[in-house]
Amino acid sequence: MAFLPRITSPADVRGLRPAQLDELAREVRRFLVASVSRTGGHLGPNLGVVELTLALHRVFESPRDTMVFDTGHQSYVHKILTGRTDFSELRQRGGLSGYPSREESEHDVVENSHASTALSWADGIAKAHALSGADRHVVAVIGDGALTGGMAWEALNNIAAGQDRRLVVVVNDNGRSYDPTIGGLAHHLDTLRTTRGYENFLAWGKRTLRRSGPPGRFAYGALHGLKKGIKDVVAPQGMFEDLGIKYIGPVDGHDVVAVEQALRRAKAFGGPVIVHVITEKGRGYVPAEQDVADRFHAVGRIHPETGLPVAPSRFGWTSVFADEMVKVGRRRPDVVAITAAMLQPVGLAPFAAEFPGRTFDVGIAEQHAVTSAAGMAFAGLHPVVAVYATFLNRAFDQVLMDVALHKAGVTFVLDRAGITGDDGASHNGMWDMALLRLVPGLHLAAPRDEPTLREALRSALDVDDAPSVVRYPKGPLPEAVEALEQLDGVDVLAREGSTGPSVLVVGVGPMAHVAIEVARIVGQEGVSATAVDPRWVLPVPSSLVKLAGEHERVVVIEDGLVEGGVGALLAQRCGEAGIGVPVQPFGIPAVFLDHASRAQIIEDLRLRAEDVARDVLRSAGHGRQGT
């Protein structure tokens, strides 16, 4: 590698000659493929922004000029150019985050893994600079997928009002988010992408007039009229210009010199400018370029030569949901599917293949997805809204006011619930149960294995007068556990010990397996323990409250927030019923978790069976105390 080892800061990039940039871009791509194939991470988005990021750091002076990436998974090249080239532990504890991180570098401002927020950040920063008189620029790099989110358009509306603010919006247009970008905006950008003949036509007209001698008023008027007449046909950038924001583009995003020239024009303008850059996701890596399913958006460990996984994916929670949705769809024509730009990741692709007219990808617009679902329910359908658990946070008001208030039969399927780990604080789906317990009438199921997931989905779809939720974690499925018996809907999974103090161990969802092991351990210490799985945790089953009253102590293990979680709610319900049994909840504290593996985080939080059992015994003042 001739150039990459010399790059320790953006100043080194600015010191290169234009002829050297193509070689540096090739080196960066080789580095990305070699590094990400060993650790996993977001490969496709970063291969697509190599030249764009080089140009950004040649034109703007980070960190004096602020760069915000939307979403932050396209910031790997930015990390490299700002001196962070140790990718050996990317997205692992102690290594680089998969997103921008203020803790890593002064060049990072916003972690920004939830889409469509960068323009609002940029607007706020630019306003602050204008008020302080700072001679600094703000650059927001936003993917065309993120522009499908309504918040981006709220920001554009405000950006247009600040004509004195030095703000550059770079639209990184590759036609994809996780899947091909959908909606009216995508069609508009497609038109811009394919109609570069407009500028060519104007250039031809001006050359013709120059060759014909000094132009008269008529000739200039004719050219102006023709320009105006064809503008909306071949160059509908008027959508942006009508907002009052100057538009430059489209520009070939893999021509670093052309991008640099466009950015310099935007920088010199002195007001808000949109620079429309056309890029190719996965550029320069043949397996990614040839992949139509966008498997290289985010990858696990892969063979760099072929792009094939090092280890085959195990049959997981998402696959079970995908299979059951198709089965349900065949039986129930009223069931429709909605997702927010994540058709493949949440497992709706098989349903879409069989029922394309009943599948709706609304783009990165969770709020719209939820309220649109309420409308569908009113009109007689039963929508299934499938999103990552962390992204439902963005539509809480719509769940509350549009779905629950109107008693709409909408089912929410929350993938990646609980601890996800390697994508960092913003991707842990740990908030859902604490938030959703506030929604009147809402039903929430936390299945423990494949059979209970299938049954939970079918039961949720029978709820037609309230929101219902099915949530499950990331990763492979555990072994199925059959109930010893059912007590009014609560599954009894294990009974250990026959004498001594009695403890009820409640396992929520995948933590049911931990509950079984906790019961076994404390049972060996002379404690009579019963492990149960309520399956439906919201509202709290009355049978679970009754069962709690039959024991001397209750332990609740959950992969959500302890504060306001299922354990806290069970304690409240026991108190309301006049049951004074102590309830000891184990779960996640109200903190943002650093990126690490799921196993590491569970160990840190003392959610392993041996840790919970030790704490239970200590609290009960019984048996082995341990450390």
Annotated binding residue at 305? no
Annotated binding residue at 111? no
Residue 314 to residues 43, 349, 453, 472, 559, Cα–Cα distance (Å): 21, 18, 17, 16, 22
Task: Decide the pairing of beta strands 411-415 and 468-471.
Answer: parallel
Q: Is omega for the bond preceding 440 within 30 degrees of 0, making it cis? A: no
Query: 136, 246, 281, 416: which one is catalytic?
Result: 281
Residue 516 to residues 47, 63, 505, 509, 543, Cα–Cα distance (Å): 46, 52, 8, 12, 19
Annotated binding residue at 311? no
Q: 305 an active-site residue?
A: no
Q: How far apart are CA 539 and CA 62, in angstroms?
A: 51
Hey, what are 198's tokens? 């407009």
CB neighbour list of residue 46: distance below 8 Å, 6 or more residues apart:
32, 36, 73, 74, 75, 76, 77
Q: How far apart are CA 80 and CA 57, in angstroms?
A: 11
Query: 324, 366, 525, 558: which one is catalytic?
Result: 366
Q: How far apart are CA 580 and CA 573, in angstroms?
A: 10
Q: What's the distance, CA 120 to chain centroid?
A: 18
Query: 165, 166, 358, 394: which one is catalytic?
Result: 394
Annotated binding residue at 622? no
Annotated binding residue at 57? no
Alpha helices in 437-565 (DSSP H): 450-460, 512-524, 542-549
Annotated binding residue at 113? yes
Strand partners, 173: 278
Annotated binding residue at 386? no
Task: Decide: 414 and 432 in contact? Cβ < 8 Å.
Answer: yes
Residue 53 to residues 12, 25, 104, 529, Cα–Cα distance (Å): 14, 10, 18, 58
Q: 366 an active-site residue?
A: yes
Instruction: Give the residue from 185, 196, 101 showing the smallest Cα distance to 142.
Output: 185
The residue type at 597: S
Annotated binding residue at 303? no
Q: Is the dihedral of CA 430, 434, 438, 442 positive or negative?
A: positive
Q: How far apart are CA 627 and CA 619, in angstroms?
A: 13
Annotated binding residue at 115? yes
Residue 615 to residues 11, 584, 606, Cα–Cα distance (Å): 54, 10, 9
Annotated binding residue at 146? yes
Task: Decide the pairing of beta strands 359-361 and 335-339.
Answer: parallel
Task: Decide: 512 and 483 in contact? Cβ < 8 Å.
Answer: no
Buried b (16+ CB within 10 A) or exposed e, 506-542: bbbbbbbbbbbbbbbbbbebebbbbbbbbbbbbebbe
Q: How far apart are CA 486 and CA 607, in angstroms?
A: 26
Q: How far apart are CA 192 and CA 187, in angstroms?
A: 9
Number of Cβ within a 10 Å radius of residue 399? 28
Q: 280 an active-site residue?
A: no
Task: Decide: 382 and 468 in contact? Cβ < 8 Å.
Answer: no
Catalytic residues: 281, 366, 394
Residues in the annotated binding site for thiamine diphosphate: 73, 113-115, 145-146, 174, 285, 366
Which residues are documented as binding site for Mg(2+)? 144, 174
Binding site: residue ranges? 73, 113-115, 144-146, 174, 285, 366
